[in-house]
């Protein structure tokens, strides 16, 4: 394997770690959602919203992992595909909607 | 290391397309139109890729990290909404739910704006234009400050009662 030309600014690595941090933030939100669902009365809406939050969290992890792998495999990564950015944002918005259902 | 030396936006920007809307159209309305136009681009990446020239990959990655930082801010606001609901149980229902929903709505706005701004920056870099400016950071900080003051008041009054 040839030694990849290393970017002195470590831009791909920094971007990879930024994705990691973002998945951690999503994890915190998902855990708070589970806590809210467990604390409230176990209504059907609450359980459904909690399950949806779990699935959305998995979806977010999937998008992040795909991007992290893309960033790790090449030394000149392409720009983020808009579809992935949109998918990550839609997961976030959907988590907020589930949160609203849990809180109200 | 100076990556700005070869910055595409260091060149004088080409003339900006002038909006064709009337002078008296409300600014908010223009934002909504612009936003709706951009939503199409979220789902049609080919359109973005065909325009202009591909910028230095480092600029694209920096733009991506900014997008992620805004997304984390959005997630933090959503977490804050949960936290208000969970950790202030002595508040009256209306205040608690109102504050939580305000934070959640701020999170939704923040995440939608994150992808929209990322798209605008990416397009501006491809076209060699100036990066778009935004009032959103100022707006968000004002909203966060107002919510924080409201929380302080509510907690103080709540403990008094």
Chain B CB contacts of A96 under 8 Å are: 74, 78, 81, 104-105, 107-108, 111
Which residues in chain A have their CB less than 8 angstroms from residue B61's CB?
11-12, 14-15, 77, 79
pLDDT tens-place string over residues B11-68: 444 444 444 445 566 777 777 787 777 777 777 666 666 678 888 888 999 999 999 9
B99 is a domain residue? yes
Tell me whether residue B3 is in a domain: no
* Each residue's pLDDT tens digit, B128-153: 888 888 889 999 899 889 888 987 88
Question: Which residues form the domain of B71?
Answer: 25-160
Q: Is residue B140 part of a domain?
A: yes
pLDDT of B120 > 50? The answer is yes
pLDDT in tens, A42-93: 688 888 988 999 999 999 999 999 999 999 888 888 888 888 999 999 999 9
Distance from CA of B7 to the nearest CA of A (A): 16
Mean pLDDT of B75-92: 88
String of DSSP letters for B84-146: HHHH-TTS-HHHHHHHHHHHHHHHHHHHHHHHHHHHHHHHHHHHTPPPPP-SHHHHHHHHHHH
Q: How far apart are CA B107 and CA A101, in angstroms?
A: 15
B156 domain residue, yes or no: yes
Q: What is the ipTM of this complex?
A: 0.89
Is the CB of residue A5 less than 8 Å away from at least one CB of chain B?
no
Interface contact B114, partner A, CB < 8 A = yes
Domain count of the fold of chain B:
1
Tens digit of pLDDT for each residue in A4-31?
566 777 888 899 999 999 999 999 999 9
In a domain, B60, yes or no: yes
Domains of chain A by residue range = 11-103
Residue B98, phi-psi category: left (phi > 0), alpha (psi -120 to 50), beta (remainder): alpha
**pLDDT attached to residue B156:** 86
Rounded to 10 degrees, what is the CA torsion of B93, B96, B97, B99? 150
- So what's the pLDDT on residue B14? 46
Confidence of residue B121 (pLDDT cuts 50, 70, 90): very high
Contact state of B118 with A102 under an 8 Å Cβ cutoff: no
Q: Is residue B77 part of a domain?
A: yes
DSSP A66-92: HHHHHHHH-SSPPPPPHHHHHHHHHHH
Cα torsion B14, B38, A30, A36: sign: positive
């Amino acid at each position: 394997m040839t030694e990849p030309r290393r970017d002195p600014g470590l831009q791909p690595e920094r971007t990879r770690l930024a994705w990691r941090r973002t998945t951690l933030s999503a994890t915190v939100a998902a855990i708070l959602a589970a806590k809210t669902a467990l604390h409230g009365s176990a209504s059907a809406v609450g359980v459904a919203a909690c399950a949806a939050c779990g699935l959305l969290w998995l979806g977010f992890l999937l998008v992040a992992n795909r991007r992290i792998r893309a960033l790790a495999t090449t030394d000149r990564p392409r720009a983020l595909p808009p579809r992935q950015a949109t998918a990550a944002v839609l997961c976030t918005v959907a988590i907020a909607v589930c949160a609203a259902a849990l809180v109200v | 290391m100076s990556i700005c030396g070869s910055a595409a936006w260091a060149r004088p920007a080409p003339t900006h397309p002038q909006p064709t809307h009337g002078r008296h159209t409300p600014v908010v309305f223009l934002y909504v139109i612009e936003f709706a136009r951009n939503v199409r681009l979220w789902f049609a990446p080919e359109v973005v890729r065909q325009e202009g020239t591909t910028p230095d990959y480092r600029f694209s990655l920096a733009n991506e990290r900014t997008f992620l930082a805004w997304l984390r801010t959005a997630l933090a606001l959503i977490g804050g909404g949960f936290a208000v609901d969970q950790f202030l149980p002595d508040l009256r229902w209306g205040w608690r739910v109102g504050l939580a929903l305000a934070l959640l709505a701020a999170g939704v706005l923040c995440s939608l704006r994150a992808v929209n701004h990322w798209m605008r920056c990416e397009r501006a870099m491809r076209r060699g234009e100036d990066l778009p400016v935004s009032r959103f950071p100022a707006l968000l900080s004002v909203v966060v400050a107002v919510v924080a003051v409201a929380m302080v008041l509510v907690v103080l009054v709540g403990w008094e009662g």
